[in-house]
């Protein structure tokens, strides 16, 4: 099938990341929704995911990024801080890019829903 789609209701069926990664914070929900079929053995796979975060008291550190990542905030407020001390607050419609090798922390004062794309096969 050359075209695949998801309805907005998919935003409301995102499982907790801790179901796949036990050490993940409870506030993070994430699922891969589209991706390159691993059977193609593509040299440049892509995966698109829904990322939902519930209110955090402080920024949550993420593991060092092994690949570039880009995304758009669909709803809410998303705060990202990097190792240089730069902190940005993004809202619906804002886009972001996280460079491979970065060490970041992220959080939200209320909630956020993001659609992100990464160069890997689906994992979640």
Average pLDDT, the chain: 89
Domain count for the chain, please give it.
1
Residues 58-108 pLDDT 10s: 999 998 999 999 999 999 999 999 999 999 999 999 999 999 999 999 999
pLDDT above 60 for 54: yes
Is 58 inside any structural domain?
yes
Is 4 inside any structural domain?
no
Are residues 58 and 40 in contact, defined by beta-carbon separation less than 8 angstroms?
no
Domain of 113 in residue numbering reads as: 28-118
CA angle 105, 85, 100 (to 5 degrees): 55
pLDDT above 60 for 1: no
Q: Does the reported pTM lie above 0.85?
A: no
- H-helix or E-strand spanning residue 111: strand 111-118
Q: In angstroms, rounded to a whole number, what is the distance separating the alpha carbons of residues 28 and 11? A: 13
- H-helix or E-strand spanning residue 72: strand 69-82
Q: Tokens 């092994």 sit at which residue?
A: 66
């Amino acid at each position: 099938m050359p075209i695949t789609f998801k309805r907005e209701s998919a935003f409301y069926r995102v499982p907790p990341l801790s179901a796949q990664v036990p050490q993940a914070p409870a506030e993070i929900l994430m699922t891969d929704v589209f991706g390159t079929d691993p059977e193609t053995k593509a040299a440049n796979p892509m995966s698109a995911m829904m990322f939902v975060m519930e209110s955090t008291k402080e920024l949550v550190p993420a593991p060092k990024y092994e690949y570039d990542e880009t995304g758009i905030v669909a709803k809410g407020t998303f705060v990202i801080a990097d190792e240089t001390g730069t902190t940005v607050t993004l809202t619906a419609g804002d886009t972001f890019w996280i460079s491979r090798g970065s060490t970041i922390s992220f959080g939200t004062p209320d909630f956020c829903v993001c659609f992100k794309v990464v160069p890997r096969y689906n994992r979640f």
